[in-house]
Amino acid sequence: MAIKPDVPRGFGDTEPIEALEIERIQEALREAYRTFGFMPLDTPSVEYREVLTGSESGIAGDNQIFTVANIDYRRAESVTGPDGKEGYVVPPELGLRFDLTVPLARYVAKHGRELTFPFKRYHIGKVWRGERPQEGRYREFIQCDVDTIANRELTPYDDAEALATANYAFEKLGITDHFFKVNNRRAVQELLRATVGEQADAAAVLRVLDKREKVGDEAVLEELKSEAGIDSAQAKTLLEHLDAGYEKGLSDEFDAAVDELNEYVEIAVALGVPRERITVDPSLARGLGYYTGNVVETFIEGAEGIGSVCSGGRFDNLTENFGSQRYPGTGLSIGLSRLQAALASKGAGTTATERPLDLYLGVFSPDQRTEAYKLLATLRAEGVSVVSDPTENRPKKVMRAADRSPCRYAVVIGENEVSSGKAKIKDLESGQETEVSLDELATRVRELRDAGAAS
């Protein structure tokens, strides 16, 4: 019986034009990461489940991890599970990684003694999450992480380097309308302690504050009471302090945290991040459970609804699950799909094109095939990308193949072109034609291409 050629729910194919754009983005990120002194590290897609589940990372539940097993189906007998499901017994040993931070922690715990610190690595790779599939949410996606790990205390300089790296990467991608929201987890904690007291459920308070812009102060005061048991007077003090930004003087601990945050911003600016792109946002709350110091989220103007395209911060207890010595870390992760979505929603900052390759070379009759092979060899030796099908010689089919190819220009050679040594280059986007000598074809296509890329 024929097998259905489907992909599992939550997984998808990435079509050529989009796949090429993803390659371009990844290459720009790698270059930016290296420029900032990070080196690549690759870890396996498959880790021991206990390595994955032992972490207190942002992932919601154990059931989001895909289990991996190598079963000999020829030998295994099928069994029926408690829920009546037929299947095979797998020991719960292996799983697919759900982020790139847990594998980094495992790597550092394993190799810490041999590494040179600060250990600066980037990692661009796929991760898998067994989330309920829904619109725009995939079970397999690409993360682009950059982290600095130390065997002593990290400083705001290390946090700022990560921020400057992300800014540099965005600029290299032609993005200039991104902005960073930064905060400091300890500053938030100390602010809450000083205004609403130790007993308050910080997570609940932050959840409510997160909605402030949407629902307004009245509703927030109400919810702070009902959700977090904070009386109205305390809640008002809290909101006032938030509105005043991080004015120092609440406590020594608070002031130290605010200094750490300010230093972070100042050094990032010194390292090249335009000051106007950084906003201190005391209500920035997401992911605070995981981080221990400065944190950042990144948005694209006009595409804020898509969410943060680059998030990160300081985590001082990277390897604690492995019982190894303490290794603090700081870094961030660019979400490739979100970044793409943000760029696409604006129709800007991207060079994605339907015609990314250079030239379609058509051939009108079998007599010109030898000439075509020669041209192909020359063009490619000069770095021109060419699609050709010298075995297709029906004029209509040749023109249609050129038009449907991913090439920007087309040249078709027949008897006349070969004898005169001249042919017409057609711009498949504008329809414009230019005559060119076949001897100069490679040079001419490169000129046209480079002029097009520059405009």
Using alpha carbons, select from 397, 368, 370, 374 the residue that is nearest to residue 386.
374
The full DSSP string for 301-362 is TT-GGG--SEEEEEETTTTGGGT-----EEEEEEEHHHHHHHHHHHT-S----S--EEEEEE
Judged by CB, which is closer to a second copy: 70, or 419? Answer: 70
Residue 17 vs 194, nearer CB to a second copy: 17
Does the N-terminal peptide bond of residue 118 adopt cis geometry, omega within 30 degrees of 0? yes
Q: Tell me whether residue 86 or residue 213 sits nearer to a second copy (CB atom).
A: 86
Helix (H) / strand (E) element for 193: namely helix 185-195
CB of 143 to a second copy, least distance (A): 14
Q: Is the CB of 4 or the CB of 214 nearer to a second copy?
A: 4
As measured in angstroms, the least distance from the Cβ of 202 to a second copy is 26
- Our CB check for a second copy shows the closer of 80 and 199 to be 80
Q: How far is the CB of 197 from a second copy (least distance, A)?
A: 34
CB contact set of 224 (below 8 Å; sequence gap of 6+): 196, 205, 208, 230, 235, 238
Please answer whether residues 112 and 327 qualify as being in contact, where contact means their C-beta atoms are separated by less than 8 angstroms.
Answer: yes
Which run of H or of E encompasses 394? Answer: none
Neighbours of 165 (CB within 10 A): 28
Which residues, listed in sequence order, are joined to residue 57 by a DSSP beta bridge?
A: none
**CA pair distance 92, 437, nearest whole angstrom:** 66
Q: Count the residues in the chain.
A: 455
For CA atoms 170, 172, 176, 177, the dihedral sign is negative
The minimum distance between CB 220 and a second copy, in angstroms, equals 34
**Choice between 11 and 434, CB closer to a second copy:** 11
219/377 with CB nearer a second copy:
377
* Cβ 53 to a second copy shortest distance, Å: 8
Distance CA 377, CA 372 (A): 9
Closest contact distance (angstroms) between CB of 75 and a second copy is 8
CB of 425 to a second copy, least distance (A): 17
> How near is the Cβ of 116 to a second copy at its closest, in Å?
4
Give the burial class of 43: count Cβ atoms within 10 A of its Cβ; 0-12 exposed, 13-18 middle, 19 or more buried.
middle
Closest CB to a second copy among residues 68, 348:
68
